[in-house]
Amino acid sequence: MHDPPLPERCTAQQIADVLAATAQPRSRVLLDQPLSDPEGPLWLVTDRLWSVELWRTAEGHLDRTLSARSPDGATWQRGCQRHWTTSGEVIEPLQLLTAEQLEALEVRLQEAALLPEPEGPGASALVFCDRLRPKQRPRRRSA
């Protein structure tokens, strides 16, 4: 029995394009938590059904992209895409945005709605969020 093929990886540019679209005033975005605690991970779902996890600094600014998942299941994890031929640094989707786009994204996230709490006995917001969060790819064991 064969395992289904793993989805392709997203690129940093695809994620930057999604974040730029999310920065637009009429876009819709849902957050997993309110922005009252500025430092730490922030997970969002865009109106294009991308899920993206960003890191915010203690000052409340977007700092880096931790992971992303496209609607078709393609993933991106911090470190998977680098400038291999030069410095080896991670290609950061947020750095591909203009200063204006980044500022607009931060404003847009301040106005974003929160993911709804699931209803019913035994319902958990974590279960709901885990269905949308990027999944880890299984590691293949070397023989």
| Res. 138 pLDDT band, cuts 50 70 90 | very low
Q: How many CB atoms lie within 10 A of CB 16?
A: 20
Calpha distance 41→43 (Å, rounded): 7
pLDDT in tens, 31-82: 888 777 778 899 999 998 999 999 999 888 899 999 999 999 988 887 666 6
**Taking residues 76-101, what's their average pLDDT?**
79
Q: Please check whether residue 28 is in contact with residue 114, taking contact to mean a CB–CB distance below 8 angstroms.
A: no
Q: Which residue has the higher pLDDT, 81 or 12?
A: 12
pTM of the model: 0.74
Q: How many CB atoms lie within 10 A of CB 112?
A: 19
The sheet carrying 51-56 orders its strands as 75-77, 62-69, 51-56, 40-46, 29-31, 113-114
Calpha distance 29→22 (Å, rounded): 7
Instruction: For residue 20, give the 3-state DSSP assignment.
Output: helix
